[in-house]
Structure 1
């Protein structure tokens, strides 16, 4: 059961990170397009700036699950170095609970914002609902839940282990 969950979690975290990388590429290409249209062609495309922001928001919220999975999001290095055995495992649980509370708040309010924002359109992109911008929060939170649980089951502390 543990191995199946960890395989599923690795797949979903990889999928989220792939999406984050894709959003970085989209934002970069749109930024290049914006520079060319504004400074070379002297015909700025206002819509590209809004899409860059949207891509960066999605990039961040799709990248967060990997940070949680690697234990890089909530770092308590000093306490980990000072503890061993059961105390370290208790610290793992406390960090996981704190992270889970944060993620659940983001999930709850992110979904609420997305639902409320569906009637609102993006400035400069009237055909696109704000729902798609706000949806990054609950989607990232869902992936993050898996990352937090994955890190609790199979903790990764590469930074800590190489620093000692």
Structure 2
């Protein structure tokens, strides 16, 4: 799905930017002796957005960490399919609830500003509904798909 590819590309750019920011900050702190005033906030912001956007691709590929115990406990393929569909539906509902809560928090904190960057705090919290809606779209695709990876 295009959303998955787009989120992966943005997350990859975010990871590269995070590495560059950390290297620059360490250089400035230990070689030059002057730490940038944004050294704490900007890498944290990039990390949060990168992790939540990367999770969209993980949801699409079903590559999130799981124990893989279901096939050992439930032998019937049909029962496993039903359990997987039920799990997909529960995850979809929880992602939508989390997206709503994240949206509410982002709206609530949009008038506050961060200390160093002087940007709205809500921009940081906005990563939660954006990431959760992306993951929810991937879950909708899993729920509607006829075949499951067992």
- TM-score, scaled relative to structure 1: 0.81
Distance in 2 of aligned mates of 1:115 and 1:19: 24
| Cα drift, residue 138 of structure 1 | 0.5
Q: Is 1:42 matched with 2:33? A: yes
The structure carrying a bigger strand percent of its residues is 1
Equivalent in the alignment of 1:103:
95
Q: Is 1:56 matched with 2:35? A: no
- Unpaired stretches in structure 2, ≥5 consecutive residues: none
Residue-by-residue CA offset, 1:77-130 (whole Å, 9 max, x unaligned): 22134343321221121110221122112201110011011001012112x111
Equivalent residues, number = 148
Equivalent in the alignment of 2:137:
146
Distance in 2 of aligned mates of 1:44 and 1:146: 41
Q: Classify 1:74/1:105 alpha carbon distance in 2 versus 1 (closer, same or farther; 3 Å).
A: farther
Distance in 1 of aligned mates of 2:76 and 2:10: 37
8 Å CA contact 2:81, 2:148 repeated in 1: no
Equivalent in the alignment of 2:79:
87
1:133 to 124, 140, 146: 124
Q: Classify 1:58/1:131 alpha carbon distance in 2 versus 1 (closer, same or farther; 3 Å).
A: same
2:60 to 60, 65, 69: 69
Q: Classify 1:96/1:156 alpha carbon distance in 2 versus 1 (closer, same or farther; 3 Å).
A: same
Please show how residues 12-31 of structure 1 align to structure 2 within 5 Å: 12-31=3-22
Distance in 2 of aligned mates of 1:74 and 1:43: 40
More off after superposition, 90-99 vs 67-76? 67-76
- Unpaired stretches in structure 1, ≥5 consecutive residues: 1-9
Q: Classify 1:122/1:51 alpha carbon distance in 2 versus 1 (closer, same or farther; 3 Å).
A: same
Q: Is 1:123 matched with 2:115? A: yes
- TM-score, scaled relative to structure 2: 0.88
Distance in 1 of aligned mates of 2:39 and 2:148: 38
Equivalent in the alignment of 1:32:
23
